[in-house]
A and B are shown apart, each in its own frame.
Chain A
Amino acid sequence: MQEIKVWDLLVRLLHWSLVAAVLGAWLTRDGEDPRHLQLGYIALAVVAMRVAWGFIGSRHARFADFVRSPRATITYLQEVITRREPRHIGHNPLGGWMIVMLLATVAAICVTGWLYTTDAYWGVAWVGELHEGLTDVLIVLVMLHVLGVVFTSIRQRENLVKAMLTGKKAPEVAAKANERVHASGG
């Protein structure tokens, strides 16, 4: 079976860089570890690059490829529940919104964290609490993201973690029994 290229190099590089930066920032969260700030700046830069790449990147890297309307997303969710969901060679609608929320949340954590380092906002309770609260939100999102990846991998019988490493997935014609291919080619 000939696999096809889905995730370009930058998508994969930015994905795993963000994983590393967020994990590193989490591990250095207490006290005055200067690496925490550096990792925050790196994470923000990664998010900025991913957002830019979402407009100018390869086909499946673009937001236009995977951000669907709320209606289409709810339809997809209903299809998942009734086990009728189509396979998406790029991100499925739920995964697409997860990406938007993850990027937005990481960006908000970085900005509030940076704000906390300024003289004006250092030690201001709401800034610190917002930074930490958003981190809790991110943890929940990451758990849902990982669960979604594992769930979809099992449902579609395709290792999506590996796909994010190699960039390759099985072609759309390699269908399993209940697969329907979207008219949009999604």
Chain B
Amino acid sequence: MRSIAIAAVGSLVLLMSGAAGATGLATCNAGPQSGWQDQDAVTKHLVVKAGWKEVRRMKPDGGCWEVYGINENGRQAEAYFHPVTLQHILTTQR
């Protein structure tokens, strides 16, 4: 019974430790966040240059800016951008 408890708690702790980390969907290696373009700059770039309809949410993931919004196709999109060069890395849309 005790070994079941240890196994159960251990596996849950293992699952939780993965919760806070990067998703591994994209990696940018852009250095410390102090050198990144800020959220306003990214939003402006996406709306003015890339034609996004709306930028709704942005968070760091894997050293990239992970951006949620309605993209140039009018679709729900989750996209990754290099936080210094703003180069497009990856988009998933639905």
Residues of A within 8 A of B (CB): 26, 30-32, 117, 119, 122-125, 128, 135-136, 139, 142-143, 146-147, 150, 153-154, 159, 161
Contact = CB atoms under 8 A, between A and B. Distances in A.
The A interface is mostly helix, strand or loop, or mixed, namely helix
Contacts of B48: none
A123 B57 contact: yes
A123 B69 contact: yes
Nearest to B20: A136
Nearest to B4: A150
Contacts of B54: 123
Contact of A30 (B5, B8, B16, B25): B25
Contacts of B24: 30
A117 B75 CA distance: 11
Given A125-B56, A128-B68, A147 B9 contact: yes
A154 B8 CA distance: 15
B15 A123 contact: no
Given A32-B78, A154-B1, 5 more contacts: A122-B68, A136-B19, A139-B19, A150-B4, A159-B1
B19 to A, nearest CB: 7
Contact of B76 (A119, A136, A159): A119
The B interface is mostly helix, strand or loop, or mixed, namely mixed
Interface string B1-33: 110110011001001100100011100000000
Nearest to A127: B57
B8 A150 contact: yes
Nearest to A32: B92
A93 B12 CA distance: 24
6 contacts: A122-B56, A122-B68, A123-B78, A146-B9, A150-B8, A153-B1
A122 B75 CA distance: 10
Nearest to A125: B57
A139 B15 contact: yes
Contact of B4 (A122, A123, A128, A161): A161
- Among A32, A136, A142, A147, the one with the most B-chain Cβ atoms within 10 Å of its Cβ is A32
Contact of A31 (B5, B25, B69): B25
Nearest to A143: B12
B94 interface: yes
A182 B46 CA distance: 66
